[in-house]
Every structure is written in C-alpha cells, then in structure tokens.
Chains A and B, each alone.
Chain A
Amino acid sequence: MSGSLRGQTAIIGIGQAGVGIATGYSALELLGQATISALKDAGVQLSEIDGLFAASSSHAFPTLSVAEYLGIRPTFFDGTNVGGSSFQMHLLQASLALQAGLCNVALICYGSNQSSAGKRLVSMSEAQWHETPYQPRHPISAYALAASRHMHQYGTTREMLAEVAVSARHWANLNPQACARGPLSIDQVMSARMLSDPLSTADCCLVTDGGGACIMVRAERAGDSSKNPVYFLGAAGAQWHRSIVAMPDLTVTAASESGPRAMKMAGITHADIDLVMLYDAFTINTLLFLEDLGFCPKGEGGRFVQNGRIAPGGELAVNTNGGGLSCMHPGMYGMFLIIEAVQQIRGDAGERQLPKVDIALLHGNGGTLSSQVTAILGSAVTL
C-alpha cells in the first residue's frame, strides 16, 4: 500500500538564504527569503501555496508564525518537530497530503539566525528531569557517550572519527557556499580542543545562520515545471527514545529501522544509491548511520571511512556539500540535506557535482540520536 506514494510527488523548486552569517536578519526573514527563492526556482506564485510544513528552533507554533509572515492561508499544515530530522518527515507528510488532495502546492521551510544572534546552538529542547542533576551538555554529551560506547565495543578510534571530519572538509573545499573551507588534517582534528571526550571542537558541526525551502507538487504538475523535477520515492521515520539514557543500545540507532522501510517503499537496493546525505551533527553520526543504513556491517563504520572512502573520489559519495561539519549547520540541518540532494540530482552542483546522481538517500537525525527519518529522492529515470 505504501508503494502507492513512490514517484507520485516531486520537488520543483529549492531556495536558500543567509547561509553562514546573516547579521541583522531574523529567523523568519531568512525563511522568507529562502521561500521567495524556492518559488522563483519553481515558477510558482506565493499565493498558490496551500500546504505548509515547517519546524523551528525559535517558534513554538511554526506553521502559525510562518503562515502569518508569508501571508498565506494553507488548507493543510504540519509542524511535526522531531529536531533536525523534521524536514525528512515533512517530505513524507507533504507527499501524503498532496496525494490525498488535501493541498496542491506544498512549501517545506526553515530559517535560523542562531549564529549571528548568539553564536551558539539554539534549541527549544527541554531538559530531562532525570538527567538535570548531572548537567549533561546538550546535545554533545549524549553523542560523546555514544562515541565512547562505540569505541569500547568495536575498537573505533579518534583517528577514524577524524577521518569523517577531514572527508567532509574535502567536499566543502569544492563548494563555494561552504562555511568552513581550507586544509584540515587528521592531526588537526585530533589536536583540537576537547569538549566532551572523545569529541573535540573539530568533531562537532558548525554553528551558522541560514534559511532553506523547497516546493513540492504532485508528479503530473511537476512535468510542467521548467527545472528537472526531483521525485519523492520513499520515506520512513523511526523513534525509539527521547533522552540518551533511554536509547536501548548506544551503538544502534533507529536508522536501522527507518532506512530499510524507506528503501522498501522506494523499491531500491544499496547498489542503486548514487549519493548519501547523512545528518552529521557530530563525527560519530556518520559512522552510526553508515552502519545502521546498511552501507557497512555494524561496528565497521570507523574502518569503512578510512583511506578517503567517503571523501571526493572515494567509493561512496557522502555529504557532498561538506555536511553539517564543514558546510553549514543552522540548528536544524535536515532542510539542507534536501537542497544538496536536489542540486546533485539536477546536475547543478558545480565543482562537486557527481558524474551521475539518479537516486539519493537522505538521512535526518533529531534530538540525541532520537528521531531517525530516511527519505529517498530520484530523477525522472527512476520512475
């Protein structure tokens, strides 16, 4: 039954604004600029938007704030907030709503000014009462705990984690929009200031501003658009815990459930995937998701990424924009996984463009390895 969603909707426009530092702009202003850019890209009028999908780090009622700011009255809206993975979930919700005829033109959007406003991660995530007395640093302590367990159980080393950061930087060096460019060595990552053992400042994603948006319509309308439509092939979410203490096994994320379900909906195997976009809030994420999504056996993520396997020219193209580690990270990065995948599938990615991208796997992460949402996008040849 879920197979009926495959190829029924498509992204026809993308937009970004203020990626990096956007001093003097509010979160909604960046979201608004990204939306205008996506509408232009899609050849769609603002007044045509009747489906609104938004999550925010700074607005308690994101669809209310966004609809008012844009001056639209959507017939369907969804503000599911599962952290940075919200936008992968919105791809699924928008596809469902479009397919059911509840809306005709869907906007998925995000904006944050966290860097220029405070130079730190903005989060509305509340403290967990049973963790509060111990003062874990949110969110890094949780990811560090997972890394400590992975190292203990599988012999993963700091060098292996560092290879993830170095590979991301090599991709960023091919992306003029990336916020962190320039040489980066494994030694530099290893000698960066330690924040939460075993994670150093170089194991952490950037803190940037940025707005992002995409426009989604039913496939029959997508054929009329000027740009190559990028089709929705499948998506699935899984969530097993909220606080890190309730994660059953710190080396296995719910991506091991969301990935297979999304790939089943899309009817694809690993051999079909040309691009892998993983939410790399910390270096350990990339290892966990490569394992849980089935690109390598459990525990082998560290050895898998060694010798440049996920860097430019490597066997598996991962995070070609430079990722959250070196491209951008405006708080909830999932929106930007979509934008990079669309650019690569369209063939618009410039110097970092892969030779052939017909199928991209996007994996969003939210909370403390809590929410895992996988989405599959494809070009027209995959229909």
Chain B
Amino acid sequence: MSQTSVNAPTGPQAEYQAFLDEGRFMLQLSPSTGRHVFYPRVLVPGSGETDLQWVPASGLGTLYAITVNRSRAGSYNIALVDLDEGPRMMSRIVDRETAPIGCRLQAHIAELDGVKAVVFRQIDQVQP
C-alpha cells in the first residue's frame, strides 16, 4: 500500500495511486489544450504543456481490445479501455470472463493483489 498523502509533494504517479487509495479515480487535465492525460505524467506528451490538474474521471469507457490469459491456475482477462475523456488504459472486466469489443463500461475501484486499481464492469451491449 502506498504511504503517500495527496498533500505531500510527490510526482503524478504517486498522486494517482494516493487518490485510488482514497477511493477516487482521478485523471489529469490540461486546461490550455483541453486534453486529458493518462497514464499520469509531468507534461502533456507530444506538446509539453505543464498545466496539468487533477479532475474526477467520468468512469465511462468503451472496450477497445481484450484477451483472456489462461493457465492451469485459472483465467482472467486483460482489457484496453478507451475512456470517454480520450486516453486509453489497461484494466480488467471483473464481472465476466470476457466482453465484446465496443461495449460500454463503468469504472470501479477494486483491490488487486493488495493494490487499489481501476477495473470495469460492462453496462450495456455492443453499440449498433
């Protein structure tokens, strides 16, 4: 578990995890460009603006790609989710083995191996 407080002077990576530990899924937003950034960084990738501030994520996204890792110990999926704010993140769909690409998803915060992480649940069928 992270010992970092959100108030301590730490980098964006530690701040992101500290928010998760408090039960909040936060994204960085650069007001001057209107761009959201994930994973959290100290600059907007590609253009370098540093006016990044934390904003709550809508938690909504669309499934971009998915695989199910299989082994004798069991199976679990690895998903890439396009957040409604723009960035893509790796995650898991937790309420089923797999899901159709294109389906809508809702974020939740769960504990994976003792670490708070953003996971998703499917909220509707594939968009027509």
CB of B70 within 8 A of CB of A149, answer no
Asked if A144 is at the interface (CB within 8 A of a chain B CB), the reply is yes
CB of A133 within 8 A of CB of B115, answer yes
CB of B101 within 8 A of CB of A148, answer yes
A244 vs B78: C-alpha distance when bound (angstroms): 11
A303 vs B4: C-alpha distance when bound (angstroms): 52
Q: Main SS of chain B's interface residues? A: strand
CB of A148 within 8 A of CB of B67, answer yes
CB of B67 within 8 A of CB of A133, answer no
A145 vs B63: C-alpha distance when bound (angstroms): 11
Interface string of B36-65 (1 = CB under 8 A from A): 001100000000000000000000000011
Whole-angstrom distance from the CB of B43 to the nearest CB of chain A?
15
Asked if B6 is at the interface (CB within 8 A of a chain A CB), the reply is no
Number of A-B contacts (CB under 8 A): 79
Asked if B123 is at the interface (CB within 8 A of a chain A CB), the reply is no
Asked if A152 is at the interface (CB within 8 A of a chain B CB), the reply is yes
B89: A residues at CB distance < 8 A: 130, 245
Whole-angstrom distance from the CB of B34 to the nearest CB of chain A?
19
Asked if A136 is at the interface (CB within 8 A of a chain B CB), the reply is yes
Q: Which segment, of A72-80, A179-187, A191-199, A316-324, faces chain B?
A: A191-199
A147 vs B67: C-alpha distance when bound (angstroms): 9
B71: A residues at CB distance < 8 A: 195
A245: B residues at CB distance < 8 A: 39, 80, 88-90
Asked if B5 is at the interface (CB within 8 A of a chain A CB), the reply is no
Chain B residues 78 to 120 lying within 8 A of chain A, measured CB to CB, are: 78, 80, 88-92, 98, 101-102, 112-113, 115, 117
CB of B78 within 8 A of CB of A149, answer no
A145: B residues at CB distance < 8 A: 65-67, 78, 80
CB of A250 within 8 A of CB of B69, answer no
Q: Which of A134, A135, A243 has the most CB of B within 10 A?
A: A134
CB of A195 within 8 A of CB of B70, answer yes
Asked if B13 is at the interface (CB within 8 A of a chain A CB), the reply is yes
Whole-angstrom distance from the CB of B121 to the nearest CB of chain A?
15
A133: B residues at CB distance < 8 A: 112-113, 115, 117
Asked if A270 is at the interface (CB within 8 A of a chain B CB), the reply is no
Q: Which of A147, A193, A195, A245 has the most CB of B within 10 A?
A: A245
B112: A residues at CB distance < 8 A: 133-135
Chain A residues 46 to 88 lying within 8 A of chain B, measured CB to CB, are: none
Whole-angstrom distance from the CB of A68 to the nearest CB of chain B?
37
CB of B78 within 8 A of CB of A152, answer no
A122 vs B83: C-alpha distance when bound (angstroms): 34
Contact of A144 among B38, B64, B67, B102 (CB under 8 A): B67
Whole-angstrom distance from the CB of B36 to the nearest CB of chain A?
14
CB of B67 within 8 A of CB of A134, answer no
Chain A residues 249 to 271 lying within 8 A of chain B, measured CB to CB, are: 250
Whole-angstrom distance from the CB of B89 to the nearest CB of chain A?
6
Chain A residues 96 to 150 lying within 8 A of chain B, measured CB to CB, are: 129-137, 140-141, 144-149
CB of A136 within 8 A of CB of B78, answer yes
Contact of B67 among A129, A135, A196 (CB under 8 A): A196
Q: Which of A145, A195, A244 has the most CB of B within 10 A?
A: A145
CB of B67 within 8 A of CB of A197, answer yes
A193: B residues at CB distance < 8 A: 70
CB of B102 within 8 A of CB of A152, answer yes
B70: A residues at CB distance < 8 A: 193-197
CB of A250 within 8 A of CB of B92, answer no
CB of B101 within 8 A of CB of A152, answer yes
B68: A residues at CB distance < 8 A: 196-197
Q: Which of A133, A144, A245, A250 has the most CB of B within 10 A?
A: A133
Asked if B76 is at the interface (CB within 8 A of a chain A CB), the reply is yes
Whole-angstrom distance from the CB of B113 to the nearest CB of chain A?
7
B80: A residues at CB distance < 8 A: 145, 244-245, 250
Chain A residues 194 to 215 lying within 8 A of chain B, measured CB to CB, are: 194-199
Interface residues of A (CB under 8 A from B): 129-137, 140-141, 144-149, 152, 193-199, 243-246, 250
Q: Would you list 6 pairs from A and B whose C-beta atoms are within 8 A, ordered by A residue?
A: A130-B39, A135-B112, A148-B65, A194-B70, A195-B69, A244-B80
Interface residues of B (CB under 8 A from A): 13, 38-39, 64-71, 76, 78, 80, 88-92, 98, 101-102, 112-113, 115, 117
Add 7 more A-B contacts to A133-B112, A134-B91, A196-B68 (CB < 8 A). A134-B112, A135-B76, A141-B69, A148-B66, A197-B98, A245-B80, A250-B64
